[in-house]
Structure 1
Amino acid sequence: QGELNTDYGNRAFPVLLLQDLAVAPLLAALPFAASAGSGAEGFDLAQGWSDALKAGAVIAVLILAARFALNPLLRMVAGSGSREAFAATALFLVAAASLAVAWAGLPMGLGAFLAGALLAESLYRHQIETDIEPFRGLLLGLFFISIGMRLDLRAIAEAWLIVLGGAVGLVAIKAAFLYGLSRAFGARRHDALLTGAVLSQGGEFAFVVFSVGADALLFSQGEAGLLSAIVTVSMILTPFLMAAVRTMRPKKETDSAEGLDGPRGGEGHVIIAGFGRMGQIISQVISAADIAVTAIDKSPSHIRNAERFGFKVYYGDASRLDTLLTAGAAEARAIIFCMDDTSAVNHAVESLRARLPNAFILAVAHDRMHEIELRPLNPDVIVRETMESSLLIARKALEELDFSNALIEDFIEQFRKRDRERLLAQMDFGPEAAKDLMHAKFDRGAQP
């Protein structure tokens, strides 16, 4: 809902992230807990340690492989220029990780989760997310369908009081605990209420934990079904709880998202599409101002060169609207387009302006004709690539020729005015319009 940068959003998001990360050790521990819980006679301590070491070794190998081989592999796939190859590679890596952890005696869901976390840390995460976006709804639907098919609706109907009471208890306990914790760390009352409300439900990974626990015979399928039903009802209750909390907002408390308009260090971000000569310089200046930068480029060689100098550039086709949205264009303070492909810049500016009318868009025009193409697309700022550097060289030359600084400034301003007039004329009447302005002498006025 666009509230990630509010006070309560900044508190809630790390908790949600920690909940997801906690799934990994929980899933890893379930088989061993089930073995230990089966009784002393059925549990071999030596075998337990052997299985634990085996599992730890597999996870360590996956992490190390991702650390040293994942980006080179994805760079090679990116070099093919095939979107389908990218999506297929991502799915293959998830399947391979799942099979590897299953061989180690751990749930396949843990492998899929681990693969997703490692892919999210790669330089190619935005493009991967964009390419699998068409399948996300389908896969998410299949996940919930598989959970629903495990539920015994008759047993749940017979124990509806337990399900309802469990859901209300879960929501109440989590909301109260997180409200108190938020207040203890200085949150305002309403922000603390929102934090407790948005985090009060059970997470979707609870379904995975219950399913794996039932498969490991830690508890019965019926118990897993009741627990899953409790989490489901808590998810249904949470939106109503959020709506109720919003109505309790005191008038004196302004929205915590307000006040973020000014450039404050570490808040907001800027997207730079294209990390060539201009993108690199722009990124350095903005980063030095303590503003987060998300740089995107579809050239593997640009990304590799950027890594050599400590820059983190994500692989992606920034001419595609879905890539820009995945990179956070809706929340970005500014989106800067400085790609080499003029048609890609035009398409990106046009599609982004249509989707996000209030976005602040800056576009680099390669030449005069490109600027003429860009103007009807309504970017907020257009800068011609060679304009300022050319004027700077002309200024230095005039200084060497003993022109005064005041006269040079006047010449530069006259040139800018003529250039704008000629540009507008060219937009209306064609490339050769007002070409006489190119040869007109400057008006020196009263100056010698």
Structure 2
Amino acid sequence: MRTDLAASYGEERLPRYTSYPTAPHFSSAIGADTYARWLSELPAGASASLYLHVPFCREMCWYCGCHTQIVRRDGLIAAYQRTLRSEIAEVAKTIGRRIKVEHIHFGGGTPTIMAPEAFAELMAAMRHSFFVLPSAEIAVEIDPRTLTTEMVEAMRLSGVNRASLGVQSFDPVVQRAINRVQSYEQTASVVDMLRQAGIAGINFDLIYGLPHQTVASCLDTVRRALELGPDRFSVFGYAHVPAFKKHQRMINEAALPDGLARHDQACAIANALKEAGYVQIGLDHFARPDDAMAVAFEERTLRRNFQGYTTDKGEVLIGFGASAIGHLPQGYVQNEVQIGAYAQSITSGRLATAKGYGLTDDDRLRADIIERIMCEFSADLGDICARHGAEPKAMLQSASRLKPLISDGVVKLDGDRLAVANDSRFLVRSVAAAFDAHLDPGKQLHSRAV
């Protein structure tokens, strides 16, 4: 990997492209009535994935970029769970039939903050309203510091088969600087509990670019994490946006590594995981060679959605909960971000859609190109444009940001086929951004490119 390119491109703030167009371009022109119509128009053979957002935590991690709030009273969580059940019923009624579900993902916040019986009731509600396939992947994000044996049992009985554990860093200095003190022993104990319960799919989340983090501390975290043998790793660069996430102001900016240091940390983590036998997948995921995600990467069927890289092939993602985003063939929808406004809409018998985006033909074309670049580090523009009735030459001419990337050797163009150079793959977001017709470089809405 080339440090000269990291210096040239690394400071630019770009989307992670978990959607196209990205969420800042959603507008209130898309509301509950539009969402209801889109749901009612879903094709008869459509299958869906479900995402449930649980926006509560016991304490705030200062690096967090999620929509969440600190809660001490369990009554608030119980009331929110009842609202989720009502929303599930309302969405199913609007669709008008039990559609197939192949993936369910609980995100947060901390989904396992719910009472075990409440979690089981939510799963039962989804199985009642949707046809959850026996082979469905059911995944839950977990904070190892608060997981109980009772919740693990509820997850087992509910059919959960994948758990994503927040690790971030095992360095105690870094942990104190981000207000997330989590011992290796806590993490190891949770992994053991999950495996004993038959929840075999284990993911770890790691972060680089945190305060006081060094290449040495990153490598030590990787070494200790590998001892626990997770199937997948997600490795993210910390996005410091204190103007949007006020709790990030608690982080000492002077202790944050610069762009080149972040680049070195990312490379060190990637190299260590690859040396351990993991396959690097796209921008920031790693998986064992026999894992379904690695297989999808090899077979070029990998997809990208709001949870990152996924094996989910469906065109319908239904989001439940405050701030949750959904993706339908017609476009994107997002629920009210504030929990009170979300709950008021649902308890009034309305969908909670606050904003969204209706896709144009050009959006769909660009979304396909960007997804292939993000998933495969390449894109056959001739094939993709042909499917959309477009001309690859016109698309390349519109991508003015591509020219310097080609000149710098980041991108290689062979006819209509574009490929990111192997030593420049860390700049895949910069390449994807060349096809983003909505990108406003002047707005600091995203994380650094490196």
Point out the structure with max Rg over C-alpha: 1
Q: TM-score range by the shorter chain?
A: under 0.3
Q: Which has the higher strand share?
A: 2
Normalising by structure 2, what TM-score? 0.24
Q: Which has the higher helix share?
A: 1
User: Which structure has the higher relative contact order (CA within 8 Å, separation 6+)?
Assistant: 2
Normalising by structure 1, what TM-score? 0.24
